[in-house]
Amino acid sequence: MTTGDVRNTTLIPLSTNDLSACLALAADREWPHEDRKWDFLLRVGQGYGLTDQSGGLVASAILTRTGDLAAISMVLVAARFEGRGLGTRLMRHVIAEAGTATPHLYATPLGKPLYEKLGFHSVAEADIRVGVLDAERSGRTRPACPADLPAILALDREVFGADRSGVLSGLFDFADHVRVVESDDRITAYAGTWRAGADAPTAIIGPLIAPDDDAARALVADLAADAGGPIRVDAATTHPDLGRWVTERGLSPTFHTDIMSLGGRPFPGDRRRAYLPFMQALG
């Protein structure tokens, strides 16, 4: 394998203008082609990259701030620079850019040792399950519309303890489907589905906020029916019943991640109602 010269790398900001370079870097590490996901994250967050002597992108990370929280995602280093400190250099910069906000991320087994060295601690775990859900529509949910957005934002802010309107304001443009559960004319639960790539066959369910397991299952069942094909559910081990339920109905575990925060700081809000993340890149 050809290695690069780390002495001649330059730190740069990334934007949607760098989407093609980000996708090429992802392909270099055999990540899937997730053009819609990258585009969305570069719009709602701030990307950072390292370029080599020729100006080619050789490392990336995206920082998305929401109140006192700072999600770190899309941390990649080109194969020829692997193990040469670029990931650490970029992560230190991103952590500094987070300021007083709590940096957090989802870590694969491959990336976890780096994050632990930087002071991150696991606060929960998540198992990613994929498949076609064998479940009937619940009849408890309804399709949401843009007029529901203020109520969805208020509920989300209550659960996450942070104003995520900068991320969720584009939910109806980005998502394939959004559904809500109502009680006494008040939205008490919501969830959406989206696809990471323009041609992606699998619909990812998230975010999902619900007051209990029954409402969470109803949203998953109805959104799976809307999707009409394979779905992905990133269920945290803090909600084991939902994980068991989707597994019993046809979804198979595909990989495992750790949910980590810098210094093991607890997350604000009422996370008991946060069943599924919008995407692992955002929490």
Say which amino acid occupies 22: C
Residues 162 and 234 in one domain: yes
Instruction: Read off the CATH number of the domain in which 229 is found.
Output: 3.40.630.90
Residues 85 and 137 in one domain: no
In a domain, 248, yes or no: yes
The pLDDT tens digits for 41-88 are: 999 999 999 999 999 999 999 999 999 999 999 999 999 999 999 999
Burial class of 116 by CB neighbour count within 10 A (0 to 12, 13 to 18, 19+): middle
Number of domains in the chain: 2
In a domain, 108, yes or no: no
In a domain, 188, yes or no: yes
Q: Measured between alpha carbons, how far apart are the two ends of the chain, in Å?
A: 35
> Mean of the pLDDT values across residues 92-113?
96
Instruction: Read off the CATH number of the domain in which 74 is found.
Output: 3.40.630.30
Selection from 160, 143, 167 nearest residue 44 by Cα: 167
For residue 238, the 8-state DSSP code is T
Residues 41 and 91 in one domain: yes
In a domain, 281, yes or no: no
The pLDDT tens digits for 169-220 are: 999 999 999 999 999 999 999 999 999 998 899 999 999 999 999 999 999 9
Tell me the residue range of the domain where 49 lies: 6-100
In angstroms, the Cα distances linking 163 to 146, 166, 167, 210 are 18, 8, 9, 18
How many CB atoms sit inside 10 A of residue 2's CB? 5
Q: What is the pLDDT of residue 1?
A: 42
Residues 272 and 136 in one domain: yes
In a domain, 107, yes or no: no
The pLDDT tens digits for 121-171 are: 999 999 999 999 999 999 999 999 999 999 999 999 999 999 999 999 999
In a domain, 121, yes or no: no
Give the span between the Cα atoms of 168 and 164, in whole angstroms: 6
Using the predicted structure, report yes or no on whether residue 108 has a pLDDT greater than 80: yes
Residues 188 and 265 in one domain: yes
Residues 200 and 85 in one domain: no
Show the CA angle centred on residue 47, arms to residues 44 and 52, nearest 5°: 160
Confidence tier at 7 by pLDDT (50, 70, 90): low
Residues 227 and 134 in one domain: yes
Using the predicted structure, report yes or no on whether residue 4 has a pLDDT greater than 90: no
Using the predicted structure, report yes or no on whether residue 8 has a pLDDT greater than 90: no
In a domain, 123, yes or no: no
Residues 96 and 134 in one domain: no
Percent of residues in the chain assigned helix, strand, coil, to nearest 5: 35, 35, 35
Residues 87 and 140 in one domain: no
Residue where a domain terminates, one of 80, 100, 120: 100
What lies within 8 Å, CB to CB, of 145 at 6+ separation is: 172
Residues 83 and 139 in one domain: no
Confidence tier at 283 by pLDDT (50, 70, 90): confident
Residues 194 and 61 in one domain: no
Residues 74 and 137 in one domain: no
